[in-house]
Amino acid sequence: EQGLRRVSFPIDRVDVSDWHDIVVRYGGGKLQILCDGTVMAETAAHGTLAPNEEPFLIGAEPAQGAPERLLTGDLAAVGLWD
């Protein structure tokens, strides 16, 4: 059991006035975040994803079941693949 894994990158690494494709990918022993096809950050991660009681959020982070660190901006589309 590895527990919670997070991956992020500093927003100043992209032009915030443009649209970007952001992808989070889990597999091959790592958790990655990509921006416009470029790996911006990754961390080691493996094993089976385990269910938990936290809500699934896009554009926010859960904290004791409540959203925090809310996205300030627009999302044009969201997808989830297995």
pLDDT tens digits, one per residue of 18-50: 999 999 999 899 999 999 999 999 999 988 888
Cross-strand partners of 12: none
* Structure-model confidence comparison of residues 60 and 52, the more confident one: 60
Question: What are the backbone dihedrals phi and psi of residue 20, each rounded to the nearest 5 degrees, phi first?
Answer: -140, 150
CB atoms within 10 A of CB 7: 17
Closest by Cα among 40, 62, 60 to 52: 62
pLDDT of residue 58: 87
How far is residue 53's CA from residue 56's CA, in Å, rounded to a whole number?
Answer: 9
Among 9-13, 23-27, 52-56, the minimum mean pLDDT is found in 52-56
**What is the pTM for the complete model shown?**
0.77
Asked if residue 10 has pLDDT above 70, the reply is yes
